[in-house]
Amino acid sequence: MEELFGVKLPDNDAKKEFALKKHIALWDTYGSLVRAENNSSDTNLTDLVPNDIDALLMQYPQIRHIFCTGQKSYNGLLKHFDNPEVEVALLPSTSPAYASMSFNEKLHRYSVVKDLLERDD
Average pLDDT (67-87) is 88
Q: What is the pLDDT of residue 40?
A: 61
pLDDT number for residue 83: 81
Domain ranges within the chain, ordered by starting residue: 25-120
Asked whether the beta carbons of 45 and 33 are under 8 A apart, the reply is: yes
Place 77 in a pLDDT band, splitting at 50, 70 and 90.
Answer: very high
Q: HEC states along 63-75?
A: CCEEEEECHHHHH
| Sign, CA torsion 111/113/116/121 | negative
pTM beyond 0.75: the answer is yes
Read off the pLDDT of residues 83-106 as tens digits, 9 standing for 90 and up. 878 999 999 988 877 788 898 999
CA distances from 36 to 19, 41, 108 (A): 31, 8, 32
